[in-house]
Structure 1
Amino acid sequence: MRTIAITAILVVAHQAWAALQVDLNSPESIKRAASLVASDLLTYYHGSEPGQTPGILPGPPPAGDYYWWESGALWGTLMDYWHYTGDSTYNELITSSMLFHTGPPLNAYMPENYTISMGNDDQGFWGLSAMLAAEIGFPDPPADEPQWLQLAQAVFHTQADPGRHDMVCGGGLRWQIPMSNIGYDYKNSISNGIFFNLGARLARYTGNETYAHHARKTWDWMMAVGLMTEDGDVYDGAHTGVNCTDVFKAQFSYNAAIFLQGAAFMYSFTTGEEQSLWAHRVQALLDRTTSFFFRIGPIIELSCETPAAIICKTDMLSFKGYTHRWMASTAQLAPFTRDTIMRVLRNSTVAAVNSCRGPLHNGRACGFRWTTGGYDGLTGAGQEMNVLAALSSLLAFHEEGGLDGKTGKGAPLTGETGGTSKGDPHAGTGKGGVDPTQLVEVTTGDRVGAWFLTVFTLGTIVAAFALMGTGRFEDREGMAAAVENNQENKKELSIWYKIAREVIFRHQG
C-alpha cells in the first residue's frame, strides 16, 4: 500500500515537473515553450513517411482523424510561429506542403484528390495560409513555382466566380462546392467569412479596390440574411431550401474572429468616414467576441464545450488557435484594440499552458478545455495547434517600437511596405481567362448561348442521376466525376458555361 502511494506521488511530481513551463513576461521563454509545442505538434504529421500523402495530417476519415482543410490551417499556424519566433526549422516542410496541394493547372487549391468533396471553406483555409505567407514575408517559393500572392488570388478568384455566388438567399457562398455534396444547400459564415477576409487582405496588399468591393458586398449580405448582427453576433449558417430563413444560431469562435480580422484589414485599407465605419464594426465584433467566448478568462468554444461534456468534433478542437492568431493580427492592424486584445489573449494563454500536463510529449501534452487548470485527457493536433498559436500570438505584443496611429508595429506587409510576393490578376482563371477583379457585363448573346448550354448541362446531370439508379455510380463522387469530365470537354465554352452554372444555381431551392 505504501509502495502504491509513493508511486502515485512520484507520478504527480513528474507531471508537475514535466508540464510546459513558460514565463509570459519573457519573449525568450515564450519562444522556448513554443518551440517545444511546435515539435510536439508535428508528431501528428506523417506526410514525410513512405506511403503517406505529403502535406496533410492523417485522414480524411476513416483513414485518419483530420480533414484536408485542417492541414492548410496547420501550415498557417507554423508560418505565424516562424514569423514571431524567427525559428526556420519547419520552413522547407511548410513550403513543400503548401506547393504539393496547389492543384495545377489553376493552382487554386483544388487538387484532384479532394475536388469532389471540396467546400468553399476547405479551399479557403489554404488560401488564407498563402495570403499570410505574402503578408509576413515568408520565403518565396522557387521562381518556377506558383507564388504566395498568386495562390491567394487564385483561391479568391475562383470563389468570386458567379457560379459560386448564386442568387439563392440573395447571394453568398454555399458551404460545399459540388451540387452532389451534403451541405450544398447550406450557406455558412465561415465560407463567406474567409471570402470576405481574403478580399479585404488582397485589397490592402495590392491596392486593388475591386477586392474591397467584394468584401463590402459579402459583409452586407451577411447582415441582410441575418447571419451577423449589429451587436457582433456571428451565427453558423442557414439553408437555401427555405431562402436562408432558418438561421442556425450556434456561435463558434473562428466565425467571429475571421470577420473581426477581416474588418481590421478593411479599417487599415480605408480612410475617412469609411475607416470610421470599419472601426465601429471592429469594436462591435471585438466586444461581442470577448464577452461571449472569453467570458470567464480562457477561451471557451461554447457551442460544443459545455460544463458537462465536450461534444466538439475534431475540426472544432482547433478553432481556439485560429481565434488567438486572428485577434493578435487585429491588434496590429487596428491599434485601438490592442490593450483589450492583449489582456484577453494573455489570460487565455495562461490557461492554455496549464492544460499542457498530459502524459504524452514528455508530460506536456496539451488538452482542449482550458478552464480546469489542468489536462482534460483530450490530445491531438488541434489541441497542440491551439497552444502553439496562443504562445506565438503573444509575441505580437512584444514587437519593439511604437504605433503610428493606424497600424501597429509588425503589421502585415503590403506590396508597398516590403512584401515581395508576386501576384497574377488572372490567377485561378486558366490561360486567357477573364480577370475576376473586373466586373464583367453579361451580353444578350452570352445569355442565349448559356440557355443552350444550360439545357445540355441539365441533361448531363439528369443522366448522371439515372446512372446512379442503375448502380453504375454507387457514390456521389462517381456521379460528380462524370459531370466534371463532360464539362472538361467544353473548355472552349468556358464563359457560357459559367453563365449556365449561374442559371442552374439560381433555380436551386
Structure 2
Amino acid sequence: MILNRSRVLRALIAGAASLAVGMVSALPAGADPGGGADGPTATARARVAADVLMSSYEPVKAWFPSSWWNSAVALQTVGDYMQRTGDRRYLPQLDNTFENDKGVFPAGYLSGDPLLGNFTSRAIDDSEWWGLTWVQAYDLTKNPKYLDMAVTIARYVEGYWDDTCGGGVWWDGERTYKNAVTNGLWIRLTAELHNRIPGDRHWLGRAQQGWNWFTGSGLINADGLVNDGLNTGTCKSNNETVWTYNQGLAIGAGLELWRATHNPQLLTTVRRLADAAIGAKGLAPNGILTESCEAPGKSCDDNQKQFKGIFLRYWMDLTDTTHDARYTAFQDRQAATVWDNRDAAGRLGLRWAGGSSNVFDWRTQASALSALIADVPARPPVRSLSATMSPAQPVVMASSATATTVKLTARIQATAPAGQRITADVRATAPAGWTVTPSRATVTLRPKGNAVPAQTAVELEVAIPAGTADGRYPVTVTAKSGPLLAFSTRADILVARTVDFDTGTAAELPWLWDAGGSQSNGVQNRFADGNAYFVYRFPFPSGTTSASATLTLDNEYVVEVSGDGQQWTTVGRETEHAHDGQNKAARTFDLTPHLGPDKAAYVRISDSFPEEGWGGRLYHLSATYTG
C-alpha cells in the first residue's frame, strides 16, 4: 500500500511541477501577460495547485497533517476550486472527512483539544471554520447532510453569544476573549445559512445582530482596518495586529449579509474595508498582500501561514459582486506573483513576492491556491489543454564514462464538451547533444466535460551524454491543438555527482522520493510524527561498489534502508524518549549491503514512538560512494 500511495503522490507533485514550468508560455495570441491570465491558463494553474495541495491529504485520519482548523480551511479552498472550475475529482475526499471526523475524539488525535462531535470543540472559531466548509460542500453537492451539519455547528456556537461587551461570540469555551475572527466567521456562517434555508428568519436575525455589534464594537479602527480583538476588562479594541484574514472575513461577512438584505449601507462599509486593505496604510506594500509576520527577522507560525488565502477567498467574492476594476486588478496581481514565485516542485510559498527565505508547505499551498482560484473566470472555459511531465525533477548520478538514460512520461490532459475530440501534436526537445525518443507524437483525447479531465500519456526516453557536467537541464514538451490550444511543460533533470543538502530547501526536493505525510517548518527541519515518514532516493552510478549516508537528526527517529523502495531494513532507531532535539547528532549509515540491482538506495525516516508526537527530525543529509 505504501508503494501505491507513493506513486500517486509523486505523480501529482511531478505533474504539477512540470505544468507550473510550462504555464507561462500558455498564453494565446493577444493575451495580456500583465493582467489576469486567460481563462484556460488560469483554470489550469488552479488545477495544478489543487493537485499539489491534495497530495498532502491523509485519507486515514481524513485531514491534512497535523492541523485541525487549517484542514477545514484547506478543504473549503478545494471546494472553492471545484465550484469555480467544474472539476469534481475531490468530492470523495470531502465526504471522507465528513464521515470519518464527525465523531468524538480525545485531545491530541486530530486537535490539541478534545473534539466534542459534529466538528465542535472548545475552540469556537475552529468549529465555525468547519461550519463554512460544510456549507461549501452543500453548495457543491446539494446533499442536505452537509447543510444540516453546518446548522448543528451554528447552534453550538450560538450558545457562546452573550451580553458581555454588548454582545459578540466568545473565542473559546472558557469565555476569555471576544475577537474579530470568531465574530467575522459568525456573521458569514449565519448569513450563508439564511441564504440557503428557505423561509429562514432566525439565522438572518443572528447575522444582522452580529454585524451591528461587530461594526459598533471598535474592532474596525480609524484607518478602516480590523484589529484582532477586545480587551475583556474595558471592552475596547486592543489595537493588536491587523491580520489579513480578519480584514477578509469582515469583507466576506458584509457581502453575504448584503445578499440577504440588499441594504446598500452594507456595501458602503465593505468598500471602506476593501479600500483600507489596499490603501497606503493597508496590508499590501508594493501591491502584494503581506502578513506582518513576514517582515525581516520574523516568522509566521502554522496558523498565520493560511491567513492571506482567507483574505483572497472573500476578495474574490468582492470582485464577483462589485466588478470594480481596481479590486480585479489587485486580485490579478496577487495571482500573477503567486505563480511567478512558485518553487521547482510547483509548490506555492508563504511570501507571495518570493525571496530566498520563502517557506513552502501544504498550508502555504492552500493559502496561495485561493489567489489562483480568484483568477479563474466565474464561468470557466470548457475547452482546455495541458501537458505535464513525470517525474518533473529526476536525478541522474551520471557516469563519466558511459551515457545515461532517463525515462519520462508526458501526460496530456484536455477538457471539452462530451462528443468533441481534441487531437494534439506533441513535440519534445532537449539540450544540445542529448536525444529524446520519440521527439514527436500525435495523441487524441475524448473529454466528457470539466468534471474529470481526459488524459493520455507519451513515454519518453532521454539519453544523456557521458561526461555531462553537473547541473540542471530542461527537457521541454509542447502540446498543440489548433490555433487556440497550446501548452508547454518541462522536466528539470538534475545531473549530480554529490549528495549534500539541508532539509526544507529547494536543494532537498529532487532527492525527496516520497514525503509520506512528513512536514517541514523551514530550513533544516523535516520531521515525521505518528505514522508519517519520508523517503529519499539516491540513484548511484552503475559502477558503484560502496556507499554511505550521513544524517544529522534527532528526536525519536527510525532510519530504514532499501534497494527497491519496498523491502526495508532498520539500520538506526532511537530507543529512548528523546524530545526537543536533546539527542541531535550526525550519524553515518552504510548503504552498501542495501544497494539495489540498479545501484539505487532508499532511506526512510519515521517515528519510533508514534503515540508521542516527537518523530524523527532531519536537518542535513549527505551521501558518498565509490566505484
- TM-score of the pair, normalised by structure 1: 0.62
Q: Deviations over 1:375-410 (max 9, x none)?
A: 64411111111222111121145569xxxxxxxxxx
Counterpart of 2:63 (choices 52, 56, 59) is 56
Distance 1:201 1:294 in 2: 28
Aligned to 2:361: 380
5+ residue gaps, structure 1: 1-14, 60-65, 401-509
Aligned to 2:168: 172
Matched, 1:315 2:317: no
Residues 25-104 of structure 1 correspond to what in structure 2 (within 5 A)? Answer: 25-48=37-60, 53=61, 55-59=62-66, 66=67, 68-103=68-103
Aligned to 1:285: 273
Counterpart of 1:210 (choices 196, 202, 213) is 202
Structure (1 or 2) with the larger CA radius of gyration = 2
Distance 1:289 1:194 in 2: 18
For the Cα contact (< 8 Å) 2:113–2:122, is it kept in 1?
no
Distance 1:390 1:365 in 2: 13
Residues 24-423 of structure 1 correspond to what in structure 2 (within 5 A)? Answer: 24-48=36-60, 53=61, 55-59=62-66, 66=67, 68-103=68-103, 113-115=114-116, 118-134=122-138, 137-141=139-143, 147-161=145-159, 164-177=160-173, 179=174, 184-206=175-197, 207-229=199-221, 231-240=223-232, 242-245=233-236, 247-271=238-262, 275-291=263-279, 292-301=282-291, 303-306=292-295, 308-332=296-320, 334-335=321-322, 337-358=323-344, 361=345, 364-372=346-354, 376-397=357-378
- Cα offset, 1:19, TM superposition: 4.0
Distance 1:33 1:299 in 2: 19
SS in structure 1 of the partner of residue 230 of structure 2:
strand
Q: Deviations over 1:154-190 (max 9, x none)?
A: 12122122xx11322222112112x2xxxx4111110
- Cα offset, 1:259, TM superposition: 1.4
For the Cα contact (< 8 Å) 1:342–1:397, is it kept in 2?
no
Aligned-residue RMSD, C-alpha: 2.9
* Structure with the larger strand share: 2
SS in structure 2 of the partner of residue 356 of structure 1:
coil
5+ residue gaps, structure 2: 1-16, 28-35, 105-109, 382-627
Q: In structure 2, do the counterparts of structure 1 residues 239 and 153 end up closer, same or farther at CA, with 3 Å as the change threshold?
A: same
Q: Deviations over 1:48-95 (max 9, x none)?
A: 3xxxx2x22222xxxxxx2x1111111111111111122222111112
AA of the residue aligned to 1:114 = L
- Cα offset, 1:140, TM superposition: 4.1
SS in structure 2 of the partner of residue 228 of structure 1:
coil
Q: Deviations over 1:291-350 (max 9, x none)?
A: 21234222111x3121x1342111110111111111112333x32x54232111101111
SS in structure 2 of the partner of residue 71 of structure 1:
helix
* Structure with the larger helix share: 1
Identity rate of aligned residues, in percent?
Answer: 23
- Cα offset, 1:285, TM superposition: 1.3
* Structure with more contact order per residue of length (Cα contacts < 8 Å, sep ≥ 6): 1
AA of the residue aligned to 1:39 = D
Q: In structure 2, do the counterparts of structure 1 residues 125 and 173 end up closer, same or farther at CA, with 3 Å as the change threshold?
A: same
SS in structure 2 of the partner of residue 251 of structure 1:
coil
AA of the residue aligned to 1:371 = A
For the Cα contact (< 8 Å) 1:72–1:126, is it kept in 2?
yes
For the Cα contact (< 8 Å) 1:156–1:199, is it kept in 2?
yes
Q: In structure 2, do the counterparts of structure 1 residues 289 and 209 end up closer, same or farther at CA, with 3 Å as the change threshold?
A: farther
Aligned to 1:463: none
Aligned to 1:21: 23
AA of the residue aligned to 2:351 = R
AA of the residue aligned to 1:224 = G
For the Cα contact (< 8 Å) 1:231–1:284, is it kept in 2?
no
For the Cα contact (< 8 Å) 2:219–2:237, is it kept in 1?
no
Distance 2:114 2:298 in 1: 32
Aligned to 1:488: none
Aligned residue pairs: how many?
A: 345
For the Cα contact (< 8 Å) 1:367–1:375, is it kept in 2?
no
